[in-house]
Amino acid sequence: MKDFIWNVDTKIMFGKDFLKDLPNEIQKYGDRVLITYGGGSIKTIGLYDKVIKVLKKANIFYKELGGIEPNPRVESAREGVKIVRENDLNFILAIGGGSVIDLSKLIAGATFVDADPWKIVIKEEKIEKALPIGTILTLAATGSEMDAGGVITNPETKQKLGFGSPYTTPKFSILNPETTYSVNERHTAAGVADIMSHTMENYFTLNDGAYLQNRLAEAILKTCIHYGPIALNNPTNYDARANIMWASSWAINGLLNTGKDTNWSVHAMEHELSAFYDLTHGIGLAILTPRFLNHILDDSTVDMIRDFGINVFNIRPTNDKFVDAKKSIGALHEFFEQQMHIPMTLEEVGIDDEHLEEMAKRAATHAGGTIKGVKQLTSEDILEIYKKSLY
Amino acid sequence: MKDFIWNVDTKIMFGKDFLKDLPNEIQKYGDRVLITYGGGSIKTIGLYDKVIKVLKKANIFYKELGGIEPNPRVESAREGVKIVRENDLNFILAIGGGSVIDLSKLIAGATFVDADPWKIVIKEEKIEKALPIGTILTLAATGSEMDAGGVITNPETKQKLGFGSPYTTPKFSILNPETTYSVNERHTAAGVADIMSHTMENYFTLNDGAYLQNRLAEAILKTCIHYGPIALNNPTNYDARANIMWASSWAINGLLNTGKDTNWSVHAMEHELSAFYDLTHGIGLAILTPRFLNHILDDSTVDMIRDFGINVFNIRPTNDKFVDAKKSIGALHEFFEQQMHIPMTLEEVGIDDEHLEEMAKRAATHAGGTIKGVKQLTSEDILEIYKKSLY
């Protein structure tokens, strides 16, 4: 096991009844709030009104930035920074899913940087200070409510890139599973796939002695496999929504990769798809992951992939390790397709072979020449994985 | 799943090389340090000298309180408070296992209470403020390095009782698995049993929909079962010591009981044994747990106990749930006895039937009349579990 530091201090208030504590939590850090949200679903479900009511009752000053995109764009961060500076705001309350929280993190950091926010994303500027952030989560997926990072899209340059800073970890997050009742089938499935992908990106490593971490990862995968279909079939099943929501935070808050070297190969490939096609992130991850595993399957990885199937999908082991590993990959593909109703080919989500080569090259370039991880992936490898994902 | 708050902010520095960062971490909080430790094993393994060296190099003023007992006694807390007050100390560095850290927590809180420290333990006084604490862990067992609580013994009243306050959660903990290389077979085994007991106390609940938490608990149990025997047979196996150490923190830091009502039945029974006989806590827990499970086995608990065996010990399920549940309990007993070499009867650890009745009554009284949990335990139930544990 490698040396590591664990230092995650987000306070999580989980359950049905914590909105009343919102003013108290905000006032620990600030009194002039930027409220950020997305396309308005928080208004449909009545959450917006409830938040405004408690803020008004506590006489907390606020401004709003709505309309943040599903793959959040750097323009929105520019707008957010402007509102913060013009109104001397000192706290950000992000209400939404990962996109809203990710974008809020960029605003929080960019407020104190004298340059365009995009410079932070492309690492030309560094976050040394940030506005404190609180979140009210409405989608179980990205884990942004309890980690330091975010992913931002720049449509002009067709780039979708991650950034992160310990300063942008939320101070608190309110997780009410009921707020996810109205999430539709497609986004529920994409969220579950996203959580599983985070977990698998942390899980698929070799010979690092991180046994506990791998068992914890399997616990999260089993939870997704158990409750994903239940949430699809019964969107108001509280325990299903609650387990998926709590799993989303722990899949990516850093626990699963303590003591490990991880490299997030599938995310690196998927970000190009989303940048070119505005594809829902989790859907892209679900499509690519089985093809990725098939591509890296060889003598060095067969035990790892086989154990995954045995421990997570209860594959009964045979004498042929490769047969077992292929069964494991098949079980994952089938779970996404049959149980989560995810379209499992690029063709079904409207992606043809036009840009595959360009995306493969960019994925490799963004990763510094090759994507690292269990297996190094060159642009040729990536292209092959894309091609295998087409139909 | 029940509503909960998760708010654990201890910074963990895990690995071989973090002692050099100790002065920096201390100086975030204080500059006049009380160093606490136990019987001197930290001197034998050279850790004491290394700590003193880095503190001196950084010109950090310190005083010492050594000789803290394995079941730490309230007298030592009185002494610690005296040293803190006389020297105007403002930070506690606990070097040791759970006993040293638990006692340091009491000193940290009692410093600001104008009454005898024991009043805090018996809840006549409340901790409203505490000195900041950092720890250097040398024994993987109690999880005190990452939680709010402690257990203190009062030999005069034959009481061993828990206390806790959010103010006494360590600010940071340095976990170097190498410092546990010299822990002998008996204490390694007792530590593993302690970790497993914490996990099982959180795990054995009914119908609370905390599916994720139970899978996480199983991950920790599997880690103990896998690496416990390896650590016994090869005490300097780094990955074994590392996995057990990291498991110890997560067994009891609050994650496993998020969303659950837990009541720690076995601990309540064991504390009486340790209070009367100064028995190593983990040994007592190992002896009592299988008898406890046998005692509560009935129609309402059979599925829970059976699942435990299937998921943790790979028991192959039959058509008879009770047979499977008994196999599960047998597997646990056998693991402690055969693989961890733990004496599995009270007789073997020098406890006869002399005080059983008195201890059973006190255990019930300390729990408010009956021990709560999956099943309520009256003093008669407790006595029967003690008796079944004799031989």
Record the tokens describing residue A183, joined without a space.
């999430």
Express each pLDDT in B241-295 by its tens digit.
999 999 999 999 999 999 999 989 999 999 999 889 989 999 999 999 999 999 9
Provide CB contacts within 8 A for A5, sequence distance 6+. B11, B12, B13, B14
Contacts of B387 (CB under 8 A, 6+ apart): B353, B356
CA distance B192 to chain A (A): 14
pLDDT tens digits, residue range B345-365?
999 999 999 999 999 999 999
A1 to chain B: which residues are within 8 Å by CB?
15, 177, 238-239, 242-243, 246
Contact yes or no for A216 and B219 at CB 8 A: yes
Q: Please say if the pLDDT value at position A168 is more than 90.
A: yes
CB-CB neighbors (< 8 A) of B219 in chain A:
212, 215-216, 218-219
Once rounded to an integer, what is the mean pLDDT over residues A314-326? 97
* A326 has pLDDT over 90: yes
- Mind listing the pLDDT tens digit for each residue in B24-73? 999 999 999 999 999 889 999 999 999 999 999 999 999 999 999 988 99
Please name which of B361, B209, B311 lies closest in space to residue A238, comparing C-alpha atoms: B209
Angle between helices B211-233 and A211-233 (to 10 degrees): 160
User: Distance (Å) from the C-alpha of residue B175 to the closest C-alpha of chain A?
Assistant: 10
Q: What is the model's pLDDT at position B278? A: 80
Question: Encoding tokens for residue B292?
Answer: 């406890």
Structure token pair of residue A106: 């960029």
Amino acid identity of residue B282, one-letter, is G
Across the A/B interface, how many CB contacts are shorter than 8 Å? 113
Among chain A residues, the shortest Cα distance to B16 is held by A3
Q: Mutate which of B13, B215, B257, B307 to test chain A, going by most A C-beta atoms within 10 A?
A: B215
| Euclidean distance between CA atoms A30 and B137, whole angstroms | 37
Cα→Cα distances A171→A8, A158, A174, B337, Å: 10, 32, 10, 46
CB atoms within 10 A of CB B250: 23
Average confidence (pLDDT) over B191-206: 97
User: How much of chain B exceeds pLDDT 70, in percent?
Assistant: 100
Q: How far is A250 from chain B (nearest CA, A)?
A: 10
DSSP string of A277-337, one letter each residue: H---HHHHHHHHHHHHHHHH-STTTHHHHHHHHHHHH-PPP-S-HHHHHHHHHHHHHHIII
Pairwise CA distance, residues B348 & B371, whole Å: 26
List the one residue out of B71, B92, B96 whose CA is nearest residue B83.
Answer: B92
The per-residue pLDDT for range B286-338, each reduced to its tens digit, is: 999 999 999 999 999 999 999 999 999 999 999 999 999 999 999 999 999 99
Best mutation target, B11, B212, B249, to test chain A (most A CBs within 10 A): B212
Buried b (16+ CB within 10 A) or exposed e, A33-48: bbbbbbeebbeebebb
Give chain A's mean pLDDT: 96
Distance from CA of B370 to the nearest CA of A (A): 29
Q: What is the 3-state secondary structure (H, E, C) of A197-236?
A: HHHHHHHCCCCCCCHHHHHHHHHHHHHHHHHHHHHHHCCC
Question: Could you tell me which of A292, A285, A279, A271 has the C-alpha nearest to residue A375?
Answer: A292
Interface touch B212/A243, C-beta < 8 Å: yes
Specify the pLDDT at position A71: 86
Shortest Cα distance, chain B CAs vs residue A203, angstroms: 14
- Res A334 pLDDT > 90: yes
Is residue A36 within a helix (H) or strand (E), and if so which, with residue range? strand A32-36
Contact A4 B14 (CB under 8 A): yes
Chain B residue nearest residue A223, CA to CA: B212
How far does B17 lie from chain A, in Å, by closest CA?
8
3-state secondary structure B275-308: HHHCCCHHHHHHHHHHHHHHHHCCCCCHHHHHHH
- How close B387 comes to chain A (CA, Å)? 36
Across the interface, which of B16, B219, B242 has its CB nearest the CB of A215? B219
B16 contacts in A (CB within 8 Å)? 3
**CA A225-A231-A232 angle, 5° bins:** 95
What pLDDT score does B71 carry?
A: 87
CA angle B311, B315, B318 (to 5 degrees): 115
Q: How far is A2 from B18, CA to CA, in rounded Å?
A: 12
CA distance B314 to chain A (A): 11
Identity of the amino acid at A195: I
User: Which residues from A are below 8 Å from B14, CB to CB?
Assistant: 3-6, 258-259
| B17 contacts on A by Cβ (under 8 Å) | 3
* Strand ranges inside chain B, DSSP E: 4-6, 11-14, 32-36, 61-65, 91-96, 133-137, 149-154, 159-164, 172-175
The span from the CA of A331 to the CA of A350, in Å, is 25
Q: What percent of chain A has pLDDT over 70?
A: 100
Averaged pLDDT, A300-322 = 97
Cβ of A209 and B258 within 8 Å?
no
The one-letter amino acid code at A328 reads S
Angle between helices B265-277 and B379-388 (to 10 degrees): 70
Over residues A274-292, the mean pLDDT reads: 94
CB-CB under 8 Å, B11 with A3: no
Say what the pLDDT of residue B263 is.
87
pLDDT for residue B241: 98
* Beta strand segments in A54-187, E: 61-65, 91-96, 133-137, 149-154, 159-164, 172-175
Backbone Cα Rg of chain B: 20
Name every chain A residue with its beta carbon within 8 A of the beta carbon of B173: none
- Binary contact (B15, A7; C-beta < 8 A): no
CA A293 and chain centroid, separation: 20
| Token couple for A161 | 């890139």
Asked if A189 contacts A233 with a C-beta cutoff of 8 angstroms, the reply is no
**What does the pLDDT look like over B100-111, one tens digit per residue?**
999 999 999 999
Q: Is the pLDDT of residue B384 over 90?
A: yes
Decide if B4 and A15 are in contact by the 8 Å CB cutoff: yes
CB contact under 8 A, B242 and A1: yes
The chain A residue lying nearest B223, using CA atoms, is A212
CA distances from A98 to A55, A147, A282, A375 (A): 23, 11, 12, 28
Find the residue in B nearest to A220 (Cα).
B212
State the Cα–Cα distance between residues B297 and B293, nearest whole angstrom: 6
CA distance B282 to chain A (A): 21
Distances from the Cα of B66 to the Cαs of A217, B38, B43, B83, B100, in angstroms? Answer: 40, 5, 11, 12, 9
Q: Per-residue pLDDT tens for A357-370?
A: 999 999 999 999 99
End-to-end CA distance of chain A: 40
Residue from A195, A246, A256, A307 whose CB has the most chain B CBs within 10 Å, to mutate: A246
Q: Strands B4-6 and A11-14, how do they pair? A: antiparallel
Inter-chain CB proximity A215 and B223 less than 8 Å:
yes
Q: Which of A196, A213, A368 is nearest to A282 (CA)?
A: A196
Backbone dihedral region of B184: left (phi > 0), alpha (psi from -120 to 50 degrees) or beta?
beta
Contacts of B166 in chain A (CB under 8 A): none
Question: Per-residue pLDDT for A275 more than 90?
Answer: no
How many Å apart are CA A344 and CA A347, to the nearest integer?
9
pLDDT at A46: 95
Gap from A309 CA to chain B (nearest CA, Å): 15
Residue A20 has pLDDT above 90, yes or no: yes
Hey, are the CB atoms on B1 and A243 less than 8 Å from each other?
yes
Share of chain A above pLDDT 90, in %: 95
The two structure tokens encoding residue B131 = 């000195």
Residue B266 is predicted with a pLDDT of 97
The closest of A162, A173, A140 to A251, measured between CA atoms, is: A140
Q: In the prediction, which pLDDT does A160 show?
A: 86
Kindly determine whether residue A211 and residue B220, on different chains, have CB atoms separated by under 8 Å.
no
- Give the mean pLDDT of B219-231: 98
State the pLDDT at residue A278: 80
pTM: 0.97
H-state helical runs in chain A: 22-27, 41-44, 47-57, 74-87, 98-110, 118-121, 185-203, 211-233, 238-250, 265-277, 281-296, 302-313, 321-334, 356-366, 379-388
Other CB atoms within a 10 A radius of the CB of residue A381 amount to 21
Q: Measured between alpha carbons, how far is residue A112 from residues A27, A92, A149, A302, B245 in Å?
A: 21, 14, 17, 48, 40
Q: Which of A2-16, A266-280, B221-235 has the lowest mean pLDDT?
A: A266-280
pLDDT at position B40, please?
Answer: 81
The answer to whether B5 contacts A17, with C-beta atoms less than 8 Å apart, is no
- Residue of B3, B215, B247 with shortest CB distance to A223: B215
Cβ–Cβ below 8 Å for A246 and B222: no
Q: At A244, which amino acid appears?
A: I
**With contact defined as beta carbons under 8 Å apart, do A283 and A264 qualify?**
no
B185-215: buried (b, 16+ CB within 10 Å) or exposed (e) per residue? Answer: ebbbbbbbbbbbbbbbbbbbbeebbbbbbbb
Contact B352, B279 (CB under 8 A): no
The pLDDT tens digits of the residues spanning A33-74 come to 999 999 889 999 999 999 999 999 999 999 999 999 988 999
